[in-house]
Structure 1
Amino acid sequence: MPENTARFGIGVSNAVRDIDQTMEIVAVADEAGLDHFSVSDHPYVGRMLDAYSLVGVALGRTRRISGMVNVSNLPTRPAPMLARAVTSLSALTGGRVVLGLGAGGSWDDIARLGFPRLSGAEAVRAFEEAFGLIRSLTGGGDPVSFDGEFYRLDRVDPAPVAAPPIWTGSVGAKSLAVTGRQADGWIPGHAADWLSTRYRESRPIIDEAARAAGRDPRAVATVYNLPGRISPTPLAATRDAEGRWLGGSVEQWVSELTGAVLEHGAGGFTYFPVGDVPIERASALWAQEIAPGVREALAEH
């Protein structure tokens, strides 16, 4: 990602009851020029739409915006089939997809779906194995055979489509190291931002692992899940007593995010509306005023 630029996305609901609202928000975001929309992946929750089904339909109704699952629940989406899903979406949309990848969580729920329960160490090893396997099934070329700890392929044809960017939701030290070695982006957990302890303690692990693998740490962008209120007038305090971002006016958002990019190297933001402003209105303000305002400010530096 070029210096002093950032990606801007919007988080949307994948609840069955919110279909109309979600499609409206994605359409507005697409028209306004946002970079991506993001949906969660909880396939064990009946009231939620399947994340990849939602992404596919939404991408089919848009022209420019990319879609991503934030992040794909790898234990319930075996890597070869996940590779097929994202390369198919990429081929159908001209490359408008980002692969969000997670090692897994909520293991009781995963097991209820009939998938094997992995230990933490096993899940991280399967996570890292998935990167190479997914990428091997992209870009065309000869059939792929693979004999790993968790996956085995026998002469499988790769898709004639480039691999999408892969962003992770890594939290633990071993998973963070995988991100440094393998990923294109990292989404800090628990909506931690650039001033958080989580970021300060986690990002050096990514950077060290990247350097050890011969990579430039800057190749792994930090893209923040960022909830917050957009208020009609400036707030007296934009952060709480613990330093967590609360939000503010459009101008306060623009100032804060511009500083995050220029002073802390933020690579992007996925906004999640909270507060008393209707979700559709907050999403439109983000797409039509805040993101363009930050881009304009960054272009001046």
Structure 2
Amino acid sequence: MTYFGIGVSTAVSAVSDALDRAVQADRGGLDLITVSDHPYHADRLDAYAELGVLLGRTERVSGLVSVTNLPTRPASVLARTVTSLSALTGGRIVLGMGVGGLWDDIARLGFPKLAPGQAVRAFEEGIRLVKMLGGGGGPVTFEGEFHQVTNLEPAAAEMPPVWTGSVGPKSLAVTGRVADGWMPGHAADWLSERYRTSRPLIDKAAVDAGRDPAEIATVYNFPGRITAEPLRRTRDGDGRWIGGSPAQWIEELTGAVLEHGAAGFVLFGPGGSAPDEVATARWAEEIVPAVREAVAK
């Protein structure tokens, strides 16, 4: 499956727009709506509170927190949140997980700062634990360095796929060992140096763990303008995607799937802004159906 989605604003001042875009994405046949997780900012909505409301307003589209700030959300409670959303929505949820990076902000919330190596180890433990806490089965006892549960019964709902936002070599290796998908950081795409140097680390770790690297999807956050007329250049001097006409987007994304194995795209506006109503309509009504059709052929 190739996923197509949009990023939705988490700004408190943009609640109406967020609700409208989620409904538009749902009615337009998109697969995903995504929100970011920055609980230390008072002008942002809590990611899971927002996602719950957005999923409640929609019928088909799935939701993803891209990515969950794991240091501020204990893995065992996060598992309960996600399996609850899965049960409430008929499985319309993907679990995004991150190491955490803004440690001064995390500390202001009252959570301890972790050294880089500690953060990566806590990240891997967290993914392993949440995967144990869905799908029923016997009680779980987990005695990790950072996460511990005792005789905890898993939820009956299946744990959804886990996608990461790994950036550093050690966290990329964690993705290869235990995750189901990867969203490259900093809006890197399949032609970027970041992708070329990062994806092989995921693949090697997967092979070393006895996994098939092809089972780990790569889904891109992909900002750009959708213009009425073609642009002379669709990428800037550094090779970063600028955007273009629907036909130019269709050609670019079809090639990404067929030639580079891309598993999905989440549309953002220029600079990582949430796409507006017009861009979302062009994405859902013109670009996405054409890419799906071209890939199916």
TM-score, normalization by structure 2? 0.98
4+ residue runs over 4 A deviation? 275-278
Matches for 1:184-203 after TM superposition, within 5 Å: 184-203=180-199
CA RMSD of aligned residues (A): 1.3
Q: 3-state SS of the aligned residue for 1:164?
A: coil
Aligned amino acid, residue 114 of structure 1: G
Alpha-carbon separation, structure 1, partners of 2:43 and 2:212: 42
Could you list the per-position Cα deviations for residues 168-209 of structure 1 after superposition, in whole angstroms to 9, with x for gaps in the alignment? Answer: 000000000000011111000100000000000000000000
Aligned amino acid, residue 195 of structure 2: Y
Could you list the per-position Cα deviations for residues 81-138 of structure 1 after superposition, in whole angstroms to 9, with x for gaps in the alignment? Answer: 1000000000000000000000101000000000010000000000000111101111
For 1:286, the equivalent position in structure 2 comes to 283
Aligned amino acid, residue 118 of structure 1: L
For 1:150, the equivalent position in structure 2 comes to 146
Specify which of 194, 202, 205 is matched with residue 206 of structure 1.
202
- The alignment status of 1:128 with 2:133, answered yes or no, reads no
Matches for 1:170-189 after TM superposition, within 5 Å: 170-189=166-185
Aligned amino acid, residue 102 of structure 2: S
* Cα pair 1:25 1:284 within 8 Å, conserved: no
Aligned amino acid, residue 298 of structure 1: V
Aligned amino acid, residue 95 of structure 1: G
Count of equivalent residues: 296
Aligned amino acid, residue 282 of structure 1: A
Q: 1:246 to 1:84 in 2, by over 3 A?
A: same
Q: 1:162 to 1:236 in 2, by over 3 A?
A: same
- The alignment status of 1:46 with 2:56, answered yes or no, reads no
Alpha-carbon separation, structure 2, partners of 1:280 and 1:82: 32
Alpha-carbon separation, structure 1, partners of 2:128 and 2:12: 34
Matches for 1:12-51 after TM superposition, within 5 Å: 12-51=8-47
TM-score, normalization by structure 1? 0.96
Could you list the per-position Cα deviations for residues 120-171 of structure 1 after superposition, in whole angstroms to 9, with x for gaps in the alignment? Answer: 0000000000111101111111111111101111111110011101000000
Alpha-carbon separation, structure 2, partners of 1:25 and 1:289: 16
Specify which of 7, 22, 47 is matched with residue 11 of structure 1.
7
Alpha-carbon separation, structure 1, partners of 2:128 and 2:93: 18
For 1:107, the equivalent position in structure 2 comes to 103
Aligned amino acid, residue 172 of structure 1: G
Shift of 1:279: 1.3
Alpha-carbon separation, structure 1, partners of 2:264 and 2:275: 24
Matches for 1:261-276 after TM superposition, within 5 Å: 261-274=257-270
Q: 3-state SS of the aligned residue for 1:171?
A: coil
Alpha-carbon separation, structure 1, partners of 2:255 and 2:148: 46
Alpha-carbon separation, structure 1, partners of 2:221 and 2:168: 17
Matches for 1:50-129 after TM superposition, within 5 Å: 50-129=46-125
Shift of 1:288: 1.5
What is the aligned-residue identity percentage?
63
* Cα pair 1:230 1:277 within 8 Å, conserved: no
Shift of 1:274: 2.4
Q: Which runs of 5+ in 1 are unaligned?
A: none
Q: 3-state SS of the aligned residue for 1:269?
A: strand
